[in-house]
Structure 1
């Protein structure tokens, strides 16, 4: 073991001071020392020499650090730099600290004060490799002169002999040279050295991952391919998880895609998975690249009877308003004119005013009072507006079927007799619904039926049940849209406006993966450039089969009798009323 003098301790203190005052000047500082280094390092002199430039700092010994809890956002944040100064072999301490899953400083400086310590083993420690940026300084003595060698770690790259560059030299620390944060913390993952990343994936996630011509493709596969070309890696796509489960936690253990990351050594899960409170605590994740949720697919209810087509352009309230205003105008006008100018036939005049609703004209010579003419002029202007609205809406009603009000909110669905189906593939939604504190969501959870995920015919069975009525289908929104198109169910179904558990789509990685920020930034750039939205639309269009059958009814075309049967019914009613009137007149005249 090296014996250090007071001058050596001052030299080490100056190096720490130069780091803090230079490239780390904009960062808060966490300084950790072992017992030997605590005696050698002059922390008081470091702070005094910095003066007002001293950053907010926390000092701790290695033993104390094991028992102190620091907020995750602080330890892993970009504003904190951690300097660990050690004289003795720190591997036992690092092994103990490794159980703390929150320990993952972005900027980590390892300062070794003993050239007898195997620093290659230290920098290879899994705990050390969690950090995104690593700088190691190792004290060396050459010709009785003290100097400090600097290293970083490039674990994905190899040298000409095929050896991994776990400990890569950067040169000798020279305080007289200007240094920047980037120069002492070079990117560790500019190249992955051609390694093969193992994906925890499921190629049944249209349009994100799906099979086409025997190959797994999709929006996320294309995005990952672009990233792989930039960072020099390839990837192996898993067809589906062995347990055919998605991403939930069952009996305290993760299943499906998350189990691949947690227990099977997979590197990345690129499927469309929502970020929630549970998975964000136990896994790394990228910046969100899209928002999604879960939606409900319903069968359209039968259209309303077509013999009522003449009534559908207006609501009941509108019909009441039109009839009431017409009666009020006619009765008041006829009464006032009869008082003022003594109408010879008030009933005939009233019928002529009402006829204005049918675009029938009225001889204004019968109305001599100026105020009455103004009254009628404004009344007919209002009538023209109402008739135009009725005629325009009637055209639409006659050519497109009118449906009753559909279920559009989770509250309406919870109160309705419709039951809900969902495939049982290990998603978190069924459990979340049943334990939800929201009354409507809890009610949906209790009437949710999980269908077995067992064969390609499972969707045929689901759509047959929906065809029979009484069921809604719950699924991921994008995938539900694809299924609706793929199974020619668009014309007879609709997707509810309300979504549940709408959240952010991210890619997941194992906890404390040092290259998580690299994938985050890459996805962000693809999103900002519009590439992800283009890929999403392209793959969604590719997977939707164009079908001519069961297309929704559209405007135009020849009108059929059943569409105008209301007019014929009205005509028959008119003929019946005329016949009854004729019979009544005949009886009055001759009897």
Structure 2
């Protein structure tokens, strides 16, 4: 057997203290020239389910080096069984290598049957007879060579199959002990677990069975697809039959996942529990699945991408800014500001020159002919004028004088705001109200007009081209665009989520942070159609989901009647055009699943490579997708006609509404400022409704008690009482009564004074003096003056009565002091002549 091995390949030798002497030095010298040995000596008390670290390292080294044979000579069959279980679970032993093991009945117990479905290149050596004694040939030992009965099914009892007998230093038959057992599986039945997932597998209805070339299954459950075609080809070459079934809750679990109990569900669960020999369902060639089962050589590479909604955002409102790039717009704005500043500077320069000329002309009397201005003084003679005449004469006071020879040109650019405004208006090809004065301004205006014409022509040409093109489709085609859209993303299983989270790309990581687990592809596609989700799957599956949705809505529309308008609106609202992202997240290899350490994997890989090289897999994929592509409803987009519709015109409406909004806001600000600031300014004139600078003769009057004024007609101003009385006696003003000098308020004060035992606080410390003076000279300006005079006299009498009672009580009680809260100075002075003398007399008498 050793001589028949490939040269320069290693062999693993495992023995214990009983069989350690089998491998002598001469034995190694005989084969050591072309064979490398890895020797392991196992202690009889070593537990090989959890072997020593040295043993594990040696097994891993043998697996990595590709050792082609394991010679295991251990007298304890339980140790051998535990070693094989450990090697199968953690894949530290190459189960497809050749094995030489000592025969032991304990190796064939029922719980070890699964090992002999995976380790099939094995021979068991069983010794019969004893040692040779004299010339008795019956005492000559012989060895039976047996193996597992693969591919025959192992039922309740495993009976090893005899291969040959070794006796007298030779084989009796010379049989090939390690023949290839997977070339012909002798029409054995392998269980196949599958679920529908395009393009690998497609679950067929009874009506679809007749239209599909390759179908596996019978009755109500049958599958077709690229993987079914591959499996039929492989089964015909290897001579086995397939018994296909669908795992429990396959529509929800799909490939399945690990539960909290440690068990697996779905397709993966069927393979881990060894219920199935083969798995079909677009299995990804990933480390996660490779740890749980074997995968064939990849037969296809699928584009995994996202299904996204179209027209998630509408940029038709940008129509007016699309003709120029952002850099161009920035250059236009900068030129606008610079030209506005230059216009303003030139205008100010010409104004300064004209001002200097006017100052020189004022020294010459002939150029000082001013327009005569009539100054209206508020005298009794003016009262004889008509009201219209009075208004015109007052208005003339605020018209600035015009000098002879003064420039009549309109300086549009003399103020910063007006300069920018007129510069902007020229950019819109709006003519100036009048040609500006000054040749430098005129020359600059001419050249700026040329610049505006060129700029506007370019803008209009670009705008015409944009409107002539069809409305662009707003789609998501890259991962960066998907991240910018902030759409929630999701797909099947933790495998996909961990792929995004463990990615080194920052953009892919952002998707993994909010990746949702999806168990229902139909519900996921509906969410995509609502514009609130992006679904992650292979491009074939996404194309099928799109077509199914189109057919569903087509059927719904055909079943609707004209009376069910609301349902038609709901359908039209939900029938959003979907888009498969052209940027592939990853090109994922796809394989067929086999049981862990499956012995048929090398031959299955061999036939899949042959089919792949022949180009059959591409043909089968096209056959699977052709019915889907034929059933797809092609969406027609807007043609290339230059049709102006409301969608293209939306940008103009947006600009119009923005302008209206800004204008209304500015108007509200102006109204607020006018009412709360301008009207309350002393320089405000209610006739011209403007603020005027203080003219000569209108300056405030500076007195010892403060500054008062300026005094203007019909404008209220606060002055001392003696000033108001003096002006009123000269009939130069009208006095406005104080706020408290009102009949209703005085009646309330009078009522409070009657009911209160103490003195109440008066609205003014000099109320009697103010009433007497105002009513004495301005009773015609104060309404209900007689009533006010009567009420104030009553309040005075009530308070004087209280004061006399208080003095009498003070004297009777021999009081030495009394509080005078809320008494006015005039009231105190009314008792000052008698009260101190009375108190002095009382003090002397005491």
Normalization by structure 2: what TM-score?
0.48
Query: What is the SS of the residue equivalent to 2:18?
Result: helix
Q: Return closer, same or farther for 1:300/1:42 CA change in 2, 3 Å cut-off.
A: closer
1:130 maps onto 2:96 in alignment: no
1:108 maps onto 2:103 in alignment: no
Q: Return closer, same or farther for 1:237/1:158 CA change in 2, 3 Å cut-off.
A: closer
Q: What's the CA shift string for 1:143-180, capped at 9, x where partnerless?
A: 66666665554411489xxx999525267699999xx9
Q: Distance in 2 between matches of 1:451 and 1:118?
A: 50
1:250 maps onto 2:259 in alignment: yes
Structure 2 residue aligned with 1:209: 201
Which residue, 169, 184, 189 being the options, matches 2:163? 169
1:413 maps onto 2:482 in alignment: yes
Structure 2 residue aligned with 1:560: 643
Q: Distance in 2 between matches of 1:220 and 1:54?
A: 41
Q: Please tell me whether the aligned partners of residues 300 and 493 of structure 1 are also in contact (alpha carbons under 8 angstroms).
A: yes
Q: Please tell me whether the aligned partners of residues 202 and 241 of structure 1 are also in contact (alpha carbons under 8 angstroms).
A: no
Q: Distance in 1 between matches of 2:163 and 2:143?
A: 11
Q: How does 1:295-444 map to 2 (within 5 A)?
A: 295-301=305-311, 315=325, 398-404=468-474, 406=476, 408-409=478-479, 411-422=480-491, 426=493, 428-430=495-497, 440-441=507-508, 443-444=510-511
Structure 1 residue aligned with 2:529: 467
Aligned residues: 486
Which residue, 68, 74, 81 being the options, matches 2:68? 81
Q: What's the CA shift string for 1:541-572, capped at 9, x where partnerless?
A: 223452445x142766x553449989xx9xxx
1:522 maps onto 2:512 in alignment: no
1:200 maps onto 2:221 in alignment: no
Q: What is the Cα deviation at residue 51 of structure 1?
A: 5.3
1:274 maps onto 2:284 in alignment: yes
RMSD: 5.1
Q: What's the CA shift string for 1:483-502, capped at 9, x where partnerless?
A: 12332399933223444465
| Gaps in structure 1 of 5+ consecutive residues | 1-18, 325-346, 360-382, 384-389, 570-591
More relative contact order in 1 or in 2 (CA 8 Å, sep 6+)? 1
Structure 1 residue aligned with 2:151: 156
Structure 1 residue aligned with 2:56: 69
Q: Distance in 2 between matches of 1:474 and 1:37?
A: 58
Structure 2 residue aligned with 1:533: 618
Q: Return closer, same or farther for 1:71/1:397 CA change in 2, 3 Å cut-off.
A: farther
Q: Please tell me whether the aligned partners of residues 241 and 260 of structure 1 are also in contact (alpha carbons under 8 angstroms).
A: no
Q: What is the Cα deviation at residue 187 of structure 1?
A: 0.9
Q: Distance in 2 between matches of 1:170 and 1:355?
A: 104
Q: Distance in 1 between matches of 2:61 and 2:585?
A: 32
Q: Distance in 2 between matches of 1:208 and 1:449?
A: 24
Query: What is the SS of the residue equivalent to 1:512?
Result: coil
Q: Distance in 2 between matches of 1:319 and 1:546?
A: 47
Structure 1 residue aligned with 2:581: 496
The farther-off stretch of 95-104 and 483-492 is: 483-492
Structure 2 residue aligned with 1:48: 29
Query: What is the SS of the residue equivalent to 1:522?
Result: helix
Structure 1 residue aligned with 2:2: 20
Structure 1 residue aligned with 2:820: none
Structure 2 residue aligned with 1:575: none
Q: What's the CA shift string for 1:298-325, capped at 9, x where partnerless?
A: 112268667988986875558999999x
Q: Return closer, same or farther for 1:110/1:554 CA change in 2, 3 Å cut-off.
A: farther
Query: What is the SS of the residue equivalent to 1:55?
Result: strand
Q: Distance in 2 between matches of 1:158 and 1:418?
A: 53
Q: Please tell me whether the aligned partners of residues 200 and 241 of structure 1 are also in contact (alpha carbons under 8 angstroms).
A: no
Q: What's the CA shift string for 1:370-405, capped at 9, x where partnerless?
A: xxxxxxxxxxxxx9xxxxxx99x9989845432457
Q: What is the Cα deviation at residue 297 of structure 1?
A: 1.4
Q: What's the CA shift string for 1:11-68, capped at 9, x where partnerless?
A: xxxxxxxx334424332111122433223x1431112233533424334347469321
Q: Distance in 2 between matches of 1:65 and 1:45?
A: 31
Structure 2 residue aligned with 1:261: 271
Q: What is the Cα deviation at residue 291 of structure 1?
A: 2.9
Q: Please tell me whether the aligned partners of residues 235 and 241 of structure 2 are also in contact (alpha carbons under 8 angstroms).
A: yes
Q: Distance in 2 between matches of 1:517 and 1:483?
A: 35
Q: Please tell me whether the aligned partners of residues 26 and 79 of structure 1 are also in contact (alpha carbons under 8 angstroms).
A: no
Query: What is the SS of the residue equivalent to 1:229?
Result: helix
Q: Return closer, same or farther for 1:504/1:74 CA change in 2, 3 Å cut-off.
A: farther
Structure number having the greater strand percentage = 1
Q: Distance in 2 between matches of 1:188 and 1:62?
A: 34
Structure 1 residue aligned with 2:704: none
Query: What is the SS of the residue equivalent to 2:179?
Result: coil
Q: Return closer, same or farther for 1:442/1:260 CA change in 2, 3 Å cut-off.
A: same
Q: Distance in 1 between matches of 2:481 and 2:489?
A: 13
Q: Please tell me whether the aligned partners of residues 104 and 131 of structure 1 are also in contact (alpha carbons under 8 angstroms).
A: no
Q: Please tell me whether the aligned partners of residues 153 and 188 of structure 1 are also in contact (alpha carbons under 8 angstroms).
A: no
Q: Return closer, same or farther for 1:277/1:54 CA change in 2, 3 Å cut-off.
A: closer
Larger radius of gyration: 2
Q: Distance in 2 between matches of 1:198 and 1:51?
A: 44
Structure 1 residue aligned with 2:388: none
Q: Return closer, same or farther for 1:174/1:184 CA change in 2, 3 Å cut-off.
A: farther
Q: What is the Cα deviation at residue 250 of structure 1?
A: 2.6
Query: What is the SS of the residue equivalent to 1:253?
Result: coil
Q: Return closer, same or farther for 1:156/1:554 CA change in 2, 3 Å cut-off.
A: farther
| Gaps in structure 2 of 5+ consecutive residues | 130-136, 210-221, 335-444, 551-573, 653-846
Q: What is the Cα deviation at residue 449 of structure 1?
A: 4.6
Q: What is the Cα deviation at residue 86 of structure 1?
A: 3.4
Q: Please tell me whether the aligned partners of residues 303 and 585 of structure 2 are also in contact (alpha carbons under 8 angstroms).
A: yes
Which residue, 211, 214, 231 being the options, matches 1:224? 231
Normalization by structure 1: what TM-score?
0.65
Q: Please tell me whether the aligned partners of residues 156 and 165 of structure 1 are also in contact (alpha carbons under 8 angstroms).
A: no
Q: Please tell me whether the aligned partners of residues 146 and 160 of structure 2 are also in contact (alpha carbons under 8 angstroms).
A: no
